[in-house]
Amino acid sequence: MLLGRTPEGPIAGRPVVITGLGAVTCCGVGVEALWEQLLHPTLTGERRVPDFDPSVWFGPKEVRRLDRFAQMSVAAAELARADAGPLGEDPARSGVIFATGVGGFETLAEQVLVCDRKGPGRVSPFLVPMMMANAGAANISMRFGWHGPSEAVCTACAAGTHAVAAAARLVASGRCDVAIGGGSEAAIQEVAIGAFTNMTALSSSGESRPFDVRRDGFVMAEGAAALVLEAKDRALARGARIYAELAGAASTADAHHITAPEPEGAGAVACMELALEDAGISADQVGHINAHGTSTPLNDLAEARAIQKVFGAPGPPVTSTKGLTGHALGAAGAIEAVASALTIFHGIIPPTAGLEQLDPEIGLDVVFGEPRPFPPAPVISNSFGFGGHNGCLVLVPAG
């Protein structure tokens, strides 16, 4: 990753690797459940996290004082930290950058009803710390006792990707030796569903079908994912298992519309090109693209056009994990970053669940039906959010 540019040229940062993964998704708790479902998808319908038991990580008092999104933030981070093995970290040089789209929306909605029905005197004194968007990041740093940067990113559906990128730059810059990046969302609630339904963003069929000719909107999901990011030399010295190197990232804005993507994907094109430049690789080196692929007609077509402009047609194999996981808003990019790291580590590209009839306008080599073998190569993971926020990560095999 680059730290900047001077008249003498680019300034390269320390190599950053992924040594721990954690996921709490509609597939279940843990990356194993996520990976198994990605390879052999069977889930349909509502994408809630099944049987999530916060008492595994919290006492009764904590459970009552943390919104579900913050509970899942800590759970995913704990899983990732355990997966990374003994870190031996210096708390002053360990940081957290965690994302969400809306924060503690479930708690806010509940307490608005309390206020309306019983009056402001009955509103919970814990409403503010439960609803605030930084509660996930704050509770992770408190849980681990880490005193480095602890920050929240809130850039809609690009937030998880932006958080992972920002955490990686903490390590690349030398500010931290270890950082956790990720995102969490728990907003499957009546008001949110009503809002997305009335703006015609949700699938009326209840099916997530990225790039399919029948796609008609996204399926809302909840979940969380976290990645342990570590200086490569440090990871090698402690004998850590390395999933992949996070070699580059970028962020751009469409500056076009608050919800609709720029139709020709200009902002997405710029973001992918900048991410490749940041990683120091060319487009023809990329072996796989983990697409944003929401299953909405406009997004999928705009992203396909952008991919063609950068990589040509049909370009490298493309997958959208949202056919399985649905769209977890601010957590989506983090979940997809985990999937991208696992794709490199296992050498398999998961199929796009829900896709049966590829839209001929897409013009990409979209993987569906069965997993595809994947020779080691760089992977791009895309996230494009409401507000025109674009984020891209470039993961490469750890050589």
- Average pLDDT on 53-76 reads 97
Between 246 and 51, residue with greater pLDDT: 246
Amino acid at 190: E
Query: Looking at residue 378, what is its pLDDT?
Result: 98
pLDDT of residue 399 exceeding 80, the answer is no
- Cβ-contact 357, 214 below 8 angstroms: yes
Taking only the tens place, the pLDDT of each residue in 220-229 is 999 999 999 9
Name 113's Cβ contacts closer than 8 Å, sequence gap at least 6.
none
Taking only the tens place, the pLDDT of each residue in 358-393 is 999 999 999 999 999 999 999 999 999 999 999 999
pLDDT of residue 45 exceeding 90, the answer is no
- Average pLDDT on 243-250 reads 98
The whole-angstrom separation of Cα 159 and Cα 329 is 8
Question: Is 157 assigned a catalytic role?
Answer: yes
Query: Looking at residue 103, what is its pLDDT?
Result: 96
**CA distances from residue 249 to 2, 48, 292 in whole angstroms, order as listed:** 9, 29, 15
Tokens of 377: 């190569």
pLDDT of residue 62 exceeding 90, the answer is yes
Where would I find the H helices in 119-209? Answer: 127-131, 135-144, 159-172, 190-198
The count of residues in the chain is 399
Annotated catalytic residue within 26, 27, 176, 327: 327
Coil, strand, or helix at residue 339?
helix
The whole-angstrom separation of Cα 389 and Cα 149 is 23
Q: For the chain, what is the mean pLDDT?
A: 97
Residue 72 phi, psi (nearest 5): -70, -30
Homologous superfamily (CATH) for 2-396: Thiolase/Chalcone synthase (3.40.47.10)
C-alpha dihedral over 309, 314, 316, 317, to 10 degrees? Answer: 130
Query: Looking at residue 301, what is its pLDDT?
Result: 97
Strands 150-153 and 94-99: parallel
- Cβ-contact 58, 66 below 8 angstroms: yes
Residue 319 phi, psi (nearest 5): -135, 145
Work out the number of other CB atoms within 10 angstroms of the CB of residue 314: 15
Is the previous residue joined to 314 through a cis bond, with omega within 30 degrees of 0? yes
Query: Looking at residue 113, what is its pLDDT?
Result: 96
Residue 7 phi, psi (nearest 5): -55, -25
Query: Looking at residue 51, what is its pLDDT?
Result: 86
Annotated catalytic residue within 162, 288, 292, 389: 292
Taking only the tens place, the pLDDT of each residue in 75-122 is 999 999 999 999 999 999 999 999 999 999 999 999 999 999 999 999
The whole-angstrom separation of Cα 377 and Cα 395 is 9
Taking only the tens place, the pLDDT of each residue in 328-353 is 999 999 999 999 999 999 999 999 99
- Cβ-contact 35, 43 below 8 angstroms: no
- Average pLDDT on 203-223 reads 96
Annotated catalytic residue within 157, 176, 271, 392: 157
Rounded percentage of the chain residues whose pLDDT exceeds 90: 98
Query: Looking at residue 52, what is its pLDDT?
Result: 94
The confidence band for 316, taking pLDDT boundaries of 50, 70 and 90, is: very high
- Cβ-contact 18, 232 below 8 angstroms: no
